[in-house]
Every structure is written in C-alpha cells, then in structure tokens.
Amino acid sequence: MHRYQILIEYVGTNFVGWQIQSKGKSVQKLIQKKLSKLLKEKIILVGSGRTDAGVHAVEQSAHFECKNKIQNLDKFLKSINHFLNNMNVSISKIKKRNLNFHARFSAKQRIYKYVIFNRLSRPSLEKGRGWHIIKKLDILLMKKGAKKFLGTKDFSTFRSSSCNAKSPIRTMKSVKIRSIRGRIEIQFKSQSFLQQQVRSMVGCLKYLAEKKWNIKKFDFVFKSKKRTLCAPPAPAEGLFLEKVIY
C-alpha cells in the first residue's frame, strides 16, 4: 500500500463540517468519493481532525492509502481539483508519506484563526468569512483575557455539551491578537482542541472586549468549568483551520 498526505483548502459555508455524517454534505465524503473515482478503488480519507459546520480551512491535512503508486503527482493534483473546484474545495498539495504517518495522531500542533470585522459596514469582499461586530471592541482588554488561556488548563467552560473528548485538559501554546483597520485576527495554537473550544473562547473575549464582563468575571467564568456560564459561541463563519504542524 502507498500512503499520501494531502493539504486541503475549503469554504465551509455549504458543508455540515469536515466529518462524514448520516445526513448532509461533508468535505471528507466529497473528497473521498472523488479520490475513489479517480484511483478506481475504495479510498478511506483520514483527516487531522473535524471542523464544525460552516468552519473554513486554509490548510486542513488528511491522508489516504491506495494500492498503486501515483506516478505523476502534479497531474494527479490537476485531475482531482478538476472535480472539486466548483464546490469551493481544492487540494493545494499532495505528498508521498511512509506508512507510519497519520494525519491525526502524528500532528504536533494545530493552528486556528478567528476573524472579526469590527466596523460599522458589513464586509462585501469577505462576506461569510468573519464575524461582523459593530460595537467598538477594546483590543487591550481582549489581549489581557487571551493571556489567561495560556498553559495547561481545564477548558471545560468552553467545551460543547456534545464533545466526546476523554479529557477537558488542553495545553494552549500561544494566542496572538492583531488588529488592522477594523479587522481583528485571533490565532490559537495547541496540539488539540475540544469541540467548539475556539468559538467559545472568542465569544468570551468578545464579552470582555465590549465590557459586558470585566477581567474578574472573565476569570471566574473560565475557572468555574461550567458550560452554562460561557458566553454564546462566536459564529462558525469566522473560524479557519490555518495549519497542522507535524
């Protein structure tokens, strides 16, 4: 068997998420189906992790195995993208890997980015690619709150009730916030994330930045480990899986 890693870019708007589900159109199912057709054998595609409905990817990572070696990777890339591009999905890279490589279990870090448009007017060019918030957000307060996430901590407050991870303990390596002309980008780096963790953290940062909460309340909600105290999660359209590091 031959194992290949692919890097995938997609607009998540019209998908139920990455993972195959009983109903709805998933990114995994779409690519798996096209790969099977192109390679003329049943292909199982394994992703680095799931992204929820409406979440986008700049560089999702996945792997698959096939019986025959792909002779021309560039030609293969053109062929598979021919079937995917009209669905707002594209394979940006394909790489031959050894059989020990696993898209999910070999990952050392995952980077997510959340985009907020903090301005009066709604975005047109980037419609559906960020959270539009009219009320002026305090970036310094946001950065102060983000520091609380760093390190190995219990992230139960930010965990979806349907999350099936064995433990709520995660290690946040970094949180970077930058703001340029009303566009705020928040980048989170960790080996793994709980379901809805990033969107829930952003929702709480928003409450802090618009002064609905002070830093003491923000800290209390985090340490409470109670999902019911969490601010409403930020909408999926502003979230991007940016990179998976191996």
- Listed by start position, the domains of the chain span 2-97, 109-245
Give me the half-sphere count of Cα atoms (radius 13 Å) on the Cβ side of residue 85: 7
Per residue in 201-217, pLDDT tens?
A: 999 999 999 999 999 99
User: b or e along 35-51 (b: 16 or more beta carbons within 10 Å of the residue's beta carbon)?
Assistant: bbebbeeebebbbbbbb
**Domain pair 2-97 / 109-245, same fold:** yes
**143-197, pLDDT tens digit by residue?**
999 999 999 999 999 999 999 999 999 999 999 999 999 999 999 999 999 999 9
Q: What is the pLDDT of residue 111?
A: 98
Task: Flag whether 112 is marked binding.
Answer: yes
Instruction: State residue 194's pLDDT score.
Output: 96
Which are the catalytic amino acids?
52
Fold of the 2-97 domain? Alpha-Beta Plaits (3.30.70)
| pTM as predicted | 0.94
pLDDT of residue 197: 97
What does the block give as tokens for 46?
Answer: 């394994």
Query: So what's the architecture of 109-245 in CATH?
Result: 2-Layer Sandwich (3.30)
Q: What is the pLDDT of residues 48-103, one digit of tens each?
A: 999 999 999 999 999 999 999 999 999 999 999 999 999 999 999 999 999 999 99
